[in-house]
Structure 1
Amino acid sequence: MKKTQKSFADLPPIRVRREPPTVNEAVAAAQDLADDVEQQVEIAAGLIGLPVDEVRPHVLAAKKAKPERAPERILTHASPSRAPRTVVVERRTRPTVVIERRSRPLAPPR
């Protein structure tokens, strides 16, 4: 006995839940996207859908709690006879390499 195939018209509609981010999630995303506090407030308010005045205290509280980025200098431990050396770490970005694939030209028809 064969099973009958169901068409998409026979299936119920698909329901999609939409959950806006929490205040903490929106503030964390805003901090990663911008350095300026006012820009962070606008980004977080846009993500949550709340007025800017309601989001500003959360962004300011999160700014105090977030530690500053570590400096780019690393001190190494040396023996007591030598002074500690400073190592400077620099981050460089390399240009992306684009490789074009070319095929051989087709042989002319004989």
Structure 2
Amino acid sequence: MKKTQKSYADLPPIRVRREPPTIVEAVAAAQDLADDVEQQVEIAAGLIGLPAEEVRPHVLSAQRAKPERMPERILSHASPSRAPRTVIVERRARPTVVVERRSRPLTPHR
């Protein structure tokens, strides 16, 4: 016996669970998006859905705890007979991959 196909109208609606980010996650995202503290407060408050006054202390405390970025030039230890060597670190971004979705051709190519 063949099974009948169900249409999408017969299926129950899809339920989507919405969980806002935690304060730590929102502050980390805001720090990555903006350098200005006030902008970070606005971004984090918008992500969480809280007023800016409640988010501001968390952004300020995270600002102090953020470590300094390592310098791009690194000096290696050298022996007394040689001068120190400088190593330059270059960061390259990978090219973005674009995937195009194509529909089937209307006429077969045979």
Where in structure 1 do 4 or more consecutive aligned residues deviate above 6 Å? none
Match of residue 60 from structure 2:
60
Distance in 1, matches of 2:48 and 2:3, equals 47
CA deviation string 1:37-94 (max 9, x = no partner):
111111101111110000000001111111011122211111112342444556688x
Which residues in structure 2 correspond to 1:19-34 (within 5 Å)? 19-34=19-34
Residue 69 of structure 1: aligned partner = 69
Match of 2:98 in 1: none
Structure whose alpha-carbon radius of gyration is higher: 1
User: Equivalent residue of 1:15, what SS?
Assistant: coil
TM-score scaled to structure 2, two decimals? 0.74
Partner of 2:4: 4
Unaligned runs of 5+ in 2: 94-110
- In the superposition, the TM-score normalised over structure 1's length comes to 0.74
Q: CA separation in 2, counterparts of 1:11 and 1:63?
A: 49
- Residue 80 in 1 paired to residue 80 in 2? yes
Q: Output the aligned Cα RMSD.
A: 1.9
Q: Percent identity at matched positions? A: 87
28-37 vs 71-80, greater mean Cα deviation: 71-80
CA distance in 2, matches of 1:83, 1:7: 76
